[in-house]
């Protein structure tokens, strides 16, 4: 079921024409479909139903409070990578006891706050980190569940920036050192090693890297249990791929069909940390064509969104489908769709055949729900766009457009003292 579709020539989100949303909230703007989020979450949840499991939505993928609150209502847990994300989860009414904390550089302050809130467990990525956590837990007189993030050395066929399960990356600990790491952690105060964690990368469209991971982790869990470790959970991470262009990723059902026969004999509760799979195709970036610039050799559609709003095309060479919000012309033309930011890397598409367009036309940049707004910046002093949450047949502001005042507010105190000290600058 696609909740983004054309209806009488207008591209709609849950039946609401996107030009109406643009008229009300302006452009550029992110628009999210609640029904899509629900649909994707429930597909995976149902597919995993044959085994005890907990889905921990990856907060970094899209951390808008409306999405987090909705995930909490659906019963989801959360995968966080910072203290800021914990703050967001709690603010959105998320359940701390379903939070897992990953990341290679957790600070002791973040550890303390997380233990205070009563999070489910920490995914440990190095022994010095485990020692730091043990110290904090000892000071607080609290026992803490830990998973060890194992790097299984598999290489999913995805962009090298989002491959994390190869031994050359900074993530996790090598599988051949796993036993020693568990033994060391087992000797540390207050730490309860109870899980194995793997997250091998992102936008994985094949099943094989997951199977390879399970083939390596199954025997490891057995070996750990043989040595007396009480391993109750296996966290398979996120990474499930989605359709941006012509990918044909496995469905949740097909994914579960392939992995569950390997998970069942492990006798664990399965955790997963999907991000992109849940929200990637639940959002579009709505933008308006400012100018058409034909240089003779190239035709540029200059739009009001920029790389500061959506960096994926230039950062990863990512493909995002671009559709006219109003279908007007059957005639196609080849465009570079570019933004106003002063960088050659400021583009959304190159040499793309799109319905002929004119200044003032609206475009929907598809599949922008994951790693879109969360990676937005204020580069070129551009206010970040609003996030519009479509729910129950109504668009609502989940985050308002930033103002110029927002952009300088954190500097205002600073400028006072700089200006009052003018003698330094010969003023």
> Position of tokens 């907060």?
59
129: CB partners within 8 A, 6+ apart: 104, 106
The CB-of-83 to ligand PLP minimum distance in angstroms stands at 15
User: Is residue 239 within the footprint of ligand PLP (CB under 6 A)?
Assistant: yes
Stretch that binds ligand PLP, among 13-21, 132-140, 233-241, 351-359 (CB under 6 A): 233-241
Cβ-based nearer residue to ligand PLP, 66 or 81:
81
Task: List the beta bridge partners of residue 99.
Answer: 78
* CA-based nearest residue to 207, from 142, 157, 138, 136: 157
Cα-based angle 79, 244, 390 (whole degrees, multiple of 5): 65
Tokens of 18: 């996107």
Stretch that binds ligand PLP, among 29-37, 53-61, 299-307, 393-401 (CB under 6 A): 53-61
The CB-of-367 to ligand PLP minimum distance in angstroms stands at 12
Length of the chain in residues, anyone?
427
Among 79, 129, 304, 361, binds ligand PLP (CB under 6 A): 79
Per-residue binding string, ligand PLP, 175-214, x by CB under 6 A, is ------------------------x--x------------
The CB-of-44 to ligand PLP minimum distance in angstroms stands at 11
Among 274, 313, 324, 385, binds ligand PLP (CB under 6 A): 274
User: Is residue 102 within the footprint of ligand PLP (CB under 6 A)?
Assistant: yes
The CB-of-380 to ligand PLP minimum distance in angstroms stands at 27
Cβ-based nearer residue to ligand PLP, 235 or 308:
235
Residue 237, sorted as left (phi over 0), alpha (psi -120 to 50) or beta, turns out to be: left
Buried b (16+ CB within 10 A) or exposed e, 3-39: bbeeeeebbbbbebbbbebbeebebbbbbbbbbbbbb
Chain CA centroid to CA 130, Å: 25
Task: Let me know if 198 is a catalytic residue.
Answer: no
Name the residues that contact ligand PLP, by CB under 6 A: 58, 60-61, 79, 81, 102, 199, 202, 237-240, 273-277, 370
Q: Which residues are catalytic?
A: 342
């Amino acid at each position: 079921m696609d909740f983004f579709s054309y209806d009488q020539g207008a591209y709609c989100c849950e039946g609401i024409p996107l030009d109406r949303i643009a008229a009300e909230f302006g452009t550029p703007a992110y628009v999210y479909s609640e029904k899509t989020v629900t649909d994707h979450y429930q597909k995976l949840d149902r597919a995993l139903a044959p085994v005890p499991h907990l889905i921990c939505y990856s907060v970094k993928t899209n951390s808008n409070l409306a999405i987090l609150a909705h995930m909490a209502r659906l019963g989801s847990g959360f995968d966080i990578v910072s203290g800021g994300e914990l703050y967001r989860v709690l603010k959105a009414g998320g359940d701390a006891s379903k939070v897992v904390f990953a990341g290679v550089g957790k600070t002791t302050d973040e550890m303390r706050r997380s233990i205070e809130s009563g999070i489910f467990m920490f995914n440990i990525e190095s022994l010095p980190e485990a020692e730091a956590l043990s110290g904090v837990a000892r000071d607080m007189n609290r026992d803490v569940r830990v998973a060890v993030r194992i790097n299984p050395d598999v290489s999913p066929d995805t962009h090298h920036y989002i491959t994390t399960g190869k031994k050359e990356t900074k993530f996790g600990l090598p599988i051949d050192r796993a036993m020693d790491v568990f033994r060391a952690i087992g000797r540390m105060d207050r730490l309860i090693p109870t899980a194995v964690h793997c997250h091998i990368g992102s936008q994985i469209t094949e099943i094989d890297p997951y199977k390879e991971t399970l083939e390596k982790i199954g025997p490891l869990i057995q070996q750990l249990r043989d040595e007396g470790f009480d391993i109750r959970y296996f966290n398979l991470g996120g990474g499930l791929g989605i359709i941006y262009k012509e990918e044909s990723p496995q469905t949740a059902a097909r994914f579960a069909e392939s992995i569950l026969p390997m998970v069942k004999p492990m006798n664990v509760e399965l955790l997963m940390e999907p991000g992109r799979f849940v929200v990637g195709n639940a959002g579009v970036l709505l933008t308006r064509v400012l100018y058409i610039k034909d240089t003779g050799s190239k035709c540029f559609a200059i739009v009001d969104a920029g790389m500061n709003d959506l960096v994926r095309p230039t950062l990863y060479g990512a493909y995002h489908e671009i559709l006219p919000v109003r279908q007007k012309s059957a005639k196609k033309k080849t465009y570079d769709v570019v933004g106003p930011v002063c960088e050659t890397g400021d583009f959304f598409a190159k040499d793309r055949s799109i319905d002929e367009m004119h200044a003032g036309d609206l475009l929907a940049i598809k599949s922008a729900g994951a790693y879109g707004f969360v990676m937005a910046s204020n580069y070129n002093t551009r206010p970040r766009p609003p996030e519009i949450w479509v729910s129950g047949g109504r668009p609502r502001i989940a985050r308002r457009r930033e103002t110029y005042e927002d952009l300088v507010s954190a500097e205002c105190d600073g400028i006072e003292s700089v200006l009052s000290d003018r003698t330094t600058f010969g003023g």
